[in-house]
Structure formats: structure tokens, C-alpha cells
Amino acid sequence: MLHTMLRFIGDEAMLREIVAGLPVMVLLAVIVVCVLALSKGANCMIDGVVQLSRRTGLPRIVIGATIISLGTTTPEAVVSVMAAWMGDPGLALGNGVGSIIADTGLIFGLTCLLAPVPVNRYILNRTGWVQVGAATLLVAISVVILVATRGSPVIFREVGLFLLVLLGIYMYMTYTWAKKGGELALEGEQLDASELAGLVKCWLMLLGGLFLVVAGARILVPSAAEIALRLGVPNDVIAATMVAFGTSVPELMTAIASVRKGHPEITVGNVVGADVLNCLFVIGAASAARPLAIPENFFLFHFPAMLAILYSFRFFIYRNRDGRFKKFQGAWLLGLYMFYVFLQYGMNIGTVEGV
């Protein structure tokens, strides 16, 4: 059972093989069902977060930065581990780095444009530094390896295990900060007057919604790609759009649902947490499974793009002393993401298989 679930999460070839034999009308029906599942799952998950926050006293931003982000990044970790094991460093490393760029530039940028997003300075001045610090540490380690070794630089298993240890410390410290912060940790959160659900129901809503979001995204992307392929869309275009975008669908649906329900702080936590986990969990687990070679274009293109977006986000946290992110800041992050995509796919800069 576990083996089948892991294959469902991480084996793209198996999913493509399944959808390849389906008629177009069935594929369209599958896509409709997936979209409905994504929407329902995201709404249910956000309700679960709000109820769990009220039950436990944990800030919603913290639940978003830990439980939600851990759930939405687990499929990426499985995909990256399998890619590393099969000797595809471009996919394994690019999955983590590309997801950080998409989550912060695309998802958070869009959220800022759609709704006023609160700046919880107590939490973000802690987890936000971990977010940019983890990415900076990854780049610094990669540069040291590049300078210190002959031949192609490689992220060794020891580095991956070190990143996983840091992940455990981050999860514990986030919980500790939330407990010690008191009212400061709840800054920017709106009161919820709905009927309080039981603790078991809270977890069922959260985990059930998370399952629907992840499962819906995993089935939606290959189904849509199969239809595009039958319409004559080239494979490389499909890879550059649907497949690359597909890993960020869970975070996107979480962002849309949190904005619709008036809880954008959950998106902030999810984005920050997902960025940290993409560095420490996704890349850490992949390199612990098998050493990851670092393609040259990561140093010239992908790493600089990631740091530009993350340090922009960090600067906005510092500047926003009135407690809100601004729309122009969301536009800036989204613009950086679009420029990154244009350079990568429009001008073929930094493009490697799987990135």
C-alpha cells in the first residue's frame, strides 16, 4: 500500500502511462473532477487550519509554515528523491529551487495583488530569516563545494543529512516561538466567530483537505498535459508550462482559498514554510538519498534568481512597519518571477531537462 502511494506521488511515468490510454472525454471529466477536488480540499484545509488554531492557540501563520507546508512539499520531496536516485540532478535540484522561486514570486506575489496581506513581524522576523538564511546557506555550501573540489561540484550525502537536521531544529523552533510569543504571535489575524469544531474534526478537515489538494494536483497535471500533447503542443512547451507549474498548484490553491475566506496570513506561513522545506527537506532528502551534481547554470542563473526574490521579500518585511504588504511589492515579486520564466523559456537561459 505504501509503495503504491509513493509511486502515485513520485512516479510521473506511471501517471502518464495511465492517462495515455484514456479517451479525451474521460480526460476532460478527470480534469473537472480534479479542479473540484482542489477547490473543495483547499477550502476544507483552510477551515481546518482556522479551527485548529482556535483549539490549540497556535497562530494560523505557524500552522501554515509547518503542517500545511510540510504536506504540500512532501510530493516534491518524493519526486526529487526518486529523480536523484535515478541520476537526474537537474530535476532533483531544480524542483526545490524552482519551487522556491514560484512560491515566493508567483504565489505570494499574486496574493499581495488580490488582498491585503498582514505582516506578522514577530513570526516573520524569525521564520523569515530562516527562509532567506536556508537559501543563502544552500548557495554558500554549493559555492564552497565548487571552489574546493575538482571537476563537477556535488552536494554530498553528509550535506543532505545536515540539512535534514536543520529541518528538525526549524520545526521545533517555530513551535517554540509561537508558544512564547503570546499575543504578538497572533498579530494580524482576524477573529473567527463560527462554531468551534472538536479537535479530531479539526485534524480530519486539515489532513483530508490536504490529501484532496495534493491528489488533485498530481492527477490534474498529467491529464492536462496529455490533452495538450494530443492537440499537437510540443513536449518541451508542456514541460515548460504545465509540468513546471504543477508542483506549485497545491500552494496556489491554498493561497486562493485563504484569500477568499479572509485568512491571507495562512498563505504567508505556507510560502515561508514551503521555501524553508524546499531547501532543507526537498534538497536535503534528495542529496541524502544520492549525491546531487550541481549543473553550472544554477550558479549563473537559478541561484541568483532565487536569492533576488527571497531578499526582496525579506526587505519588504523590514520596510512594512504599518503591518501590511503593499500591492506594488506583490507586483515586484511577480515581475521578477515572470522575468525569470521569460529568460528561462523565452531565451533558453538556464534551461535543463526537468528545471
Domain of 79, CATH number, reads 1.20.1420.30
How far is Cα 126 from Cα 33, in angstroms, rounded to an integer? Answer: 39
Least Cα distance to 76 among 285, 298, 294 occurs for 285
**What is the domain count for the chain?**
1
Which pLDDT tens digit goes with each residue over 82-139? 767 766 656 678 878 888 998 899 989 988 888 888 777 767 777 888 899 999 999 9
Q: Which helix (H) or strand (E) holds 167?
A: helix 157-181
Domain containing 297: what range?
A: 2-346
Q: Name the burial class of residue 21, with classes exposed (0-12), middle (13-18) and buried (19+) by CB atoms within 10 angstroms of its CB.
A: exposed
Q: Is residue 291 part of a domain?
A: yes
Percent of the chain with pLDDT over 90: 17
Contact predicate 84/92, CB 8 Å: yes
Q: Is residue 257 part of a domain?
A: yes
Q: Is residue 32 part of a domain?
A: yes
Q: Is residue 174 part of a domain?
A: yes
How far is Cα 51 from Cα 53, in angstroms, rounded to an integer? Answer: 5
Q: Is residue 81 part of a domain?
A: yes
- Provide the pLDDT confidence category of residue 241 given band limits of 50, 70 and 90: low
How far is Cα 161 from Cα 166, in angstroms, rounded to an integer? Answer: 9
What pLDDT, on a 0 to 100 scale, did the predictor assign at position 246? 66
Q: Is residue 38 part of a domain?
A: yes
Q: Is residue 353 part of a domain?
A: no
Which pLDDT tens digit goes with each residue over 17-58? 777 778 888 888 888 888 788 778 877 877 777 777 777 767
* 102 or 75: which leads in pLDDT: 102
What pLDDT, on a 0 to 100 scale, did the predictor assign at position 185? 45
Q: Is residue 232 part of a domain?
A: yes
For residue 158, which amino acid is it? E
The three three-digit cell numbers of residue 31, written as one number: 480534469
How far is Cα 317 from Cα 106, in angstroms, rounded to an integer? Answer: 17
pTM of the entire predicted model? 0.77
Q: Check pLDDT > 50 for residue 353.
A: no
How far is Cα 298 from Cα 90, in angstroms, rounded to an integer? Answer: 9
The three three-digit cell numbers of residue 293, written as one number: 551534481
